[in-house]
Amino acid sequence: MASGLFALLDDIAVLMDDVAVMSKIAAKKTAAILGDDLAVNAEKASGFVSDREIPVLWAITKGSLLNKIIILPVVFLLSAFIPPVITIMLLIGGLYLAYEGAEKIYEYIFPHKHIKVVNIDENLTEDQILAREKEKIKSAILTDFILSIEIVIITLGTVITEPLLEQILVVSVIALLATVGVYGIVALIVRMDEFGYKLIAMNERENSFSDKIGLILVNALPKIIKGMGIIGTIALLLVSGGIFVHNLDFMHGIFPAIPSIITEFLIGLVVGFVVWAIIHFGKKIFFKKKLTSH
């Protein structure tokens, strides 16, 4: 009886060890999406009144957890009963990632001419403020849902050949990390400027050490968010290119003389702009036909 218990504990230890190793691999594969998720949500969670940032972020976090609860069972069922669908979903996710990366590059080179100006000094009622918060929270949760699907599918793609139990454990760990880790860091980022202002107000001396640190934190916040956006864009193209290289046979070793990281980036970039062009010109044709029909 005792030997059976020890054997069971040994099996559990081996399973947990395997899950830990595969989770590290999966975390590396999804790092780009997590980085993009972090940048997007840091931007969406900022811009509120100081004492409303954390409640808004908590509401988004709860929505993110609900997204994972909806997504995970569906993906596991597909993996168990229709495994080829996972590869198809992975490739579709790669197209979306490539498109998103290309769109960000296009918007950086050709920024929108019409920028909506928001008057932060306008007098809003409490109901209007709450309505704006709800609108922004819904937008953030929708974005999180799309990114969550990508994270789960890419993670599952790294362990698709493993037993179902290990798939469930690894994907669940990464999904939890994607929520707790990302939104925990977002909470620190969006409160960075507030902490900086408190350091500046700590004493009445000018140009004190706390003032210098506080100014660094206040000035660093927009730069950090912008920097994460740039890194996230590059990473999106790398991940999407990697999806195509590793899941499409004709792309294996397509440019053997070029380092794989450059090959994956270039493939992601080319595919991204092809998808972007199709969608961009498709919209123009659609709206042109719509206008001529009226």
Residues 151-173 have pLDDT tens digits of 888 788 778 777 778 888 888 88
| Residue 273, pLDDT score | 95
Closest CA to 276 of 148, 105, 32: 105
Residues 18-38 have pLDDT tens digits of 556 556 555 555 565 666 666
**With a threshold of 0.75, does the pTM exceed it?**
no
| Residue 31, pLDDT score | 60
Q: Is the pLDDT of residue 275 over 80?
A: yes
Confidence class for position 70, pLDDT limits 50, 70, 90: very high
Residues 209-230 have pLDDT tens digits of 788 888 888 888 778 877 877 8
User: What are the CA-CA distances from residue 215 to residues 39, 121, 206, 227, 261 (Å)?
Assistant: 22, 24, 12, 18, 38
Q: Token pair of 42, please? A: 């840091």
Confidence class for position 285, pLDDT limits 50, 70, 90: confident
Q: Token pair of 73, please? A: 């069972």
